[in-house]
Amino acid sequence: MPFTDAPPAGPPWDTPFAEVSFAFVDLEMTGLDLEKDRVIEICVERTRAGEREAFFSTLLNPEVPVGAQHVHGINEEMVKSAPRFAEVATQLQGILSGAVFVAHGAKYDADFLNMELARAGHEYRVTHLVDTLKLARRALGLESHSLHALCKHFGVVQQVAHRAEADVTALQIVFTRIVALLAPVSARDLWEVRTAERLARGAILAACETARAAGTEVRITYRPSRRKSEILPMIVTGIASDVDPPRVMGYLVTGRSRRELRADRILRVETPT
Cβ atoms of residues 196 and 133 within 8 Å: no
Residue 162 falls in the annotated catalytic set: yes
**DSSP letter (8 states) at residue 10:** S
Instruction: Decide: helix, strand or coil at residue 145.
Output: coil
Containing 94, the helix (H) or strand (E) segment is helix 85-96
Q: How many residues does the chain have?
A: 273
C-alpha to C-alpha distance for 140 and 226, rounded to whole angstroms: 10
**Cα four-point dihedral sign 83, 123, 22, 134:** positive
Sequence-ordered list of residues with C-beta below 8 angstroms from that of 98, at least 6 positions apart, any chain: 11, 12, 21
Catalytic site residue from 72, 104, 145, 162 = 162
Q: Which residues are catalytic?
A: 162
